[in-house]
């Protein structure tokens, strides 16, 4: 019996009432898989409740036309962010990175990478091998940053970093060499040049005095100079999204977009210099860090924000900020699902109307649960275990509806991300006057890597939205480490080429 006939035979006269959308059909068919056609005693409200569930799920369904509208809005915001006089009020900041080229495959040599973005930082030794077209992580070391240093002076912080870097160089027998360094510094900065970045404000629990408003590269160099037992070569400041693009760019020279979909989300791409109005010069290209997580902060996405998105925003540590990120990234997806499950339970559509203390606790439904519940073979069993641990009593119908909720939320995330990525790819195509663009996206992040369906849905949606762009997706290998080294390697190559021309 095919699915349509099974659907009709199980639901009989209710089918005309329930067949209001593909999502509703999916809801009902999930129940049809559990309850045989002979179970005519199955309660009327259980047959019909998917229609009420659908009332909520429809809020998250975005048609192809709506996604094209979202893409058009982002396109306007990209242009506004690039403008010399409009960027300061743009929701999408479009920050110049001063990375002026992607790898061409000729880079080689040894580099250091320093990755500072939390209570630990990493030091890496990276070797770029031209003959093998490979970026090798030779070794790395993780160093803790004690609380007293996080809250102390800037001099103490950078002295600590310089001391850990010294220990690492000793362990690698690199003290006698002067190696270039790629510096990933994951705090809000205004980048002035590839080797000059001004800290705007501390986040993530740091509050070191004397650093805000200062050039962090200069502070690092001063700390190394105070030690006097080693030196470093040129320094390149790196955003983690740029690092992702550059680490993939050495393997695939057509990689000109970087994208992260994990705890947060962001993207960068190679823009024509003539369009980067905030930086002098018209020739060539520059990588732009879009900071697309802020898309919608001016209210432009209000029509697709649901009441659940609004609650997530209002209860976050930064209300009104990073609107787009809160609709699609890993920090927030689990909470959107939790809020929706609570509402369905309050409406007596799930768990016999009985919530639990855990389910009512913000943050209790982790985003990784979505991935586990959507696993093709083990998802229902995983869902049963997760819901049991959350203290709710559920039957097989409940588990399948929860799975449908997870699928709906993750699907919206993938489709919105696809709309944004398609906007960037199409911009590159139009910028270059091409009928068809073939490009590669370097991508990283736990949502993209771990969710069983996310990458496929994102790629399928991009193909629908921008048929004139053929996009290959390449998962990054340690973008914040290897990518930082590649930025430095490319900067060195360009500097050498420039000196040969003068």
Is residue 364 domain-resident? yes
Burial of residue 194 (CB within 10 Å: 0-12, 13-18, 19+) is: buried
Catalytic hit among 55, 204, 348, 389? 204
Of 198, 202, 189, give the one whose Cα is nearest residue 157. Answer: 202
pLDDT reported for residue 500: 63
Could you report how far apart the first and last alpha carbons of the chain are, in Å?
77
User: Using an 8 Å Cβ cutoff, are 110 and 177 in contact?
Assistant: yes
Is residue 297 domain-resident? yes
User: Using an 8 Å Cβ cutoff, are 106 and 130 in contact?
Assistant: yes
Residues 412 and 490 in one domain: no
Residues 467 and 487 in one domain: no
Based on DSSP, count helices (H) and strands (E) in the chain, helices before strands. 18, 13
Is residue 202 domain-resident? yes
155-197 pLDDT, tens digit per residue, is 999 999 999 999 999 999 998 899 999 998 888 888 899 999 9
Domain count, the chain: 2
Helix, strand and coil in the chain, % to nearest 5? 50, 15, 35
Residues 106 and 70 in one domain: no
Is residue 369 domain-resident? yes
Mean pLDDT calculated for residue range 83-110: 90
Residues 210 and 335 in one domain: no
Give the confidence band of 50 by pLDDT, cuts at 50, 70, 90: low
Residues 418 and 357 in one domain: yes
**Residue 483: CATH number of its domain:** 3.30.420.40
Contacts of 24 (CB under 8 A, 6+ apart): 18, 50, 51, 54
Distance from chain centroid for Cα 265: 3
Of 143, 158, 144, give the one whose Cα is nearest residue 208. Answer: 158
Residues 68 and 135 in one domain: no
pLDDT reported for residue 32: 47
Residues 345 and 311 in one domain: yes
380-431 pLDDT, tens digit per residue, is 999 999 999 999 999 999 999 999 999 999 999 999 999 999 999 999 999 9
Q: Which domain holds residue 422?
A: 56-81+292-475
Q: What is the pTM of this model?
A: 0.85
Is residue 464 domain-resident? yes
| Residues in a beta bridge with 134 | 129
425-448 pLDDT, tens digit per residue, is 999 999 999 999 999 999 999 999
Phi, psi of 456 (to 5 degrees): -65, -45
Mean pLDDT calculated for residue range 449-478: 95
Is residue 110 helix, strand or coil?
A: strand
| Residues in a beta bridge with 235 | 181
Residues 341 and 373 in one domain: yes
Is residue 229 domain-resident? yes
Q: Is 240 assigned a catalytic role?
A: yes
DSSP 8-state assignment for residue 87: G
pLDDT reported for residue 203: 78
Residues 388 and 484 in one domain: no
C-beta atoms surrounding 33 within 10 Å = 13
Is residue 282 domain-resident? no
Residues 173 and 128 in one domain: yes
Residues 483 and 388 in one domain: no
| Residues in a beta bridge with 153 | 209
Burial of residue 346 (CB within 10 Å: 0-12, 13-18, 19+) is: exposed
Nearest 10 degrees: CA dihedral of 228, 229, 234, 238? -100
Give the confidence band of 25 by pLDDT, cuts at 50, 70, 90: very low
**Residue 306: CATH number of its domain:** 3.40.367.20
Is residue 158 domain-resident? yes
Residues 297 and 434 in one domain: yes
Catalytic hit among 77, 159, 240, 398? 240
Whose structure tokens read 């449908």? 404
Mean pLDDT for all residues in the chain: 87
Is residue 122 helix, strand or coil?
A: strand
């Amino acid at each position: 019996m095919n699915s349509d006939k099974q659907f009709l035979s199980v639901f009989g006269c209710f089918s005309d009432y329930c067949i209001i959308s593909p999502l509703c059909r999916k809801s009902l068919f999930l129940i049809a898989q559990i309850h045989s056609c002979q179970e005519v005693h199955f309660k009327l409200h259980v047959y019909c409740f998917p229609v009420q569930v659908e009332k909520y799920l429809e809020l998250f369904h975005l048609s192809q036309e709506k996604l094209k509208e979202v893409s058009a809005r982002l396109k306007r915001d990209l242009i506004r962010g690039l403008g010399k006089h409009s960027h300061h009020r743009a929701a999408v900041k479009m920050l110049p990175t001063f990375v002026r080229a992607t790898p061409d495959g000729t880079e080689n040599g040894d580099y250091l990478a320093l990755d500072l973005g939390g209570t630990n930082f990493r030091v890496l030794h990276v070797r770029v091998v031209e003959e093998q077209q490979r970026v090798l992580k030779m070794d790395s070391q993780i160093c803790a940053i004690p609380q007293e240093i996080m809250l102390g002076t800037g001099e103490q912080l950078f002295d600590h970093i310089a001391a850990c870097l010294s220990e690492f160089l000793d362990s690698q027998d690199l003290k006698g060499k002067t190696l270039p360094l790629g510096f990933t510094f994951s705090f809000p900065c205004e980048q002035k040049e590839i080797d000059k970045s001004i800290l705007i404000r501390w986040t993530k629990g740091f509050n070191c005095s004397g650093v805000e408003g200062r050039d962090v590269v200069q502070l690092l160099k001063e700390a190394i100079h105070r030690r006097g037992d080693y030196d470093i070569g040129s320094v390149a400041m790196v955003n983690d999204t740029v690092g992702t693009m550059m680490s993939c760019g050495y393997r695939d020279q057509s990689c000109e977009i970087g994208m992260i979909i994990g705890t947060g989300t962001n993207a960068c791409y190679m823009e024509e210099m003539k369009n980067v109005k905030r930086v002098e010069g018209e020739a060539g290209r520059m990588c732009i860090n879009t900071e697309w997580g802020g898309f919608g902060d001016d209210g432009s996405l209000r029509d697709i924000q649901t009441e659940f998105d609004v609650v997530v925003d209002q209860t976050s540590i930064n209300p009104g900020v990073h609107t787009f990120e809160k609709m699609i990234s890993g920090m927030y997806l689990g909470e959107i699902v939790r809020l929706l499950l609570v509402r369905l339970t309050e409406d007596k559509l799930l768990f016999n109307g009985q919530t639990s203390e855990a389910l009512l606790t913000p943050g209790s439904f982790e985003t990784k649960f979505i991935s586990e519940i959507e696993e093709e073979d083990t998802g229902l069993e995983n869902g049963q275990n997760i819901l049991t641990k959350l203290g709710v009593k559920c039957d097989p119908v409940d588990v399948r509806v929860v799975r449908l909720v997870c699928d709906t939320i993750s699907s919206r995330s993938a489709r919105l991300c696809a709309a944004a990525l398609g906007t960037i790819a199409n911009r590159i195509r139009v910028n270059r006057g091409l009928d068809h663009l073939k490009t590669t996206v370097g991508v990283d992040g736990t949502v993209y890597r771990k969710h069983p369906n996310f990458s496929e849905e994102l790629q399928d949606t991009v193909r629908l939205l921008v048929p004139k762009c053929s996009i290959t997706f390449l998962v990054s290998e340690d973008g914040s480490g290897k990518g930082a080294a590649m930025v430095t390697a490319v900067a060195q190559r360009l500097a050498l080429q420039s000196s040969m021309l003068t």
